[in-house]
Amino acid sequence: MPGQLYVVATPIGNLGDMVPRAVEVLHAVDLIAAEDTRHSGRLLKHLGIDTPLVAYHDHSDERQMGRVLDMLVQGQTVALISDAGTPLISDPGYRLVREARLQDIRVTPIPGACAAIAALSASGLPSDRFSFEGFPPPKTAARVKRFETLAESAQTMIFYESPHRILDTLRDMITTFGPDREAVLAREITKTFETFLTGTLTTILQQVCADSNQQKGEMVVMVKGNVDAVSASEAEQLRILKTLLDDLPVKQAAALAARITGGRKNALYQLALSLRPD
């Protein structure tokens, strides 16, 4: 029987956030595949774990991935960890997990810390709909182009960014999303100097420029969605619904409007009833 690949989340700062199940798995597996063995070695030493450790990341050659897969095919167990947080969430591991699944090897997630979700949960921004965008492109032109494709998005957007690019990224966000777009910058989450800066993109940029300490550490930038885009979408749904009601029964018009616009069928049905109660 094939072995099992565990995708194990590790703390993003505070070692107390390591969940007991993750510790049990790391003790029990035959091998731990880590993004950086030196970094992960310190965590494992802290936890008293002496499981064999090898380097694995998305730039590893095919031979290294092949060695890990061979172990799994032979019935052994492997835990995949990254430097911090949940593997594959803007961290290495996609190729290994995909290949394991293609070979019918069981892949089991061991949930834990994730910087994007931790930041969003404490941001105060809408969290019913959001998109994780990872790291923006490092070059200005490509970064602006990426932001332009997101400018009309109605959902909260979550980005990771490095300290040496944070100022340029905030400036480019102001250019594309607008100076008054609401945003939150979360820095050093779960660590000693954890900070949340809340306001418009302009006020956040001013705060970061004024305090060099805000230009250090791990950063998550969250940008509120375009509220006007929501209004425009609702206006388009109303326009299409009214047109369909000229020729179709209420229930059929609402169902078709939902298919065309991607709107919620029940909400459009209630709206149709209000427009044509008969």
Average pLDDT, integer, range 7-32: 97
Say what the pLDDT of residue 194 is: 97
Give the CATH number of the domain where residue 174 resides.
3.30.950.10
pLDDT tens digits for range 48-77: 999 999 998 767 778 889 999 999 999 999
In this structure, what are the phi and psi dihedrals at residue 2, rounded to the nearest 5 degrees? -60, 160
Nearest alpha-carbon partner for 52 in 33, 66, 80, 65: 33
Total number of domains constituting the chain: 3
pLDDT for 277 equals: 64
CATH classification at residue 38? 3.40.1010.10
Q: Same domain for 35 and 92? A: yes
pLDDT of 230 > 90? The answer is no
User: Same domain for 70 and 107?
Assistant: yes
- The per-residue pLDDT for range 165-179, each reduced to its tens digit, is 999 999 999 999 999
Range of the domain at 142: 137-225
pLDDT in tens, 124-136: 999 999 999 999 9
Q: Are residues 10 and 108 in the same domain?
A: yes
CA-CA-CA-CA dihedral for 206, 210, 216, 222, to nearest 10: -20
Q: Percentage of residues in the chain with pLDDT exceeding 70?
A: 98
Q: Which runs of consecutive H residues, i.e. helices, occur in 123-249?
A: 140-150, 166-177, 201-210, 227-245
Same domain for 14 and 96, yes or no, is yes
Q: Are residues 221 and 232 in the same domain?
A: no
Mean pLDDT of 7-11: 97
Strand ranges in the chain using DSSP code E only, listed in sequence order? 4-8, 31-34, 53-55, 77-81, 106-110, 130-134, 156-161, 182-187, 195-200, 219-223
pTM score, whole prediction: 0.83
Q: How many CB atoms lie within 10 A of CB 181?
A: 18
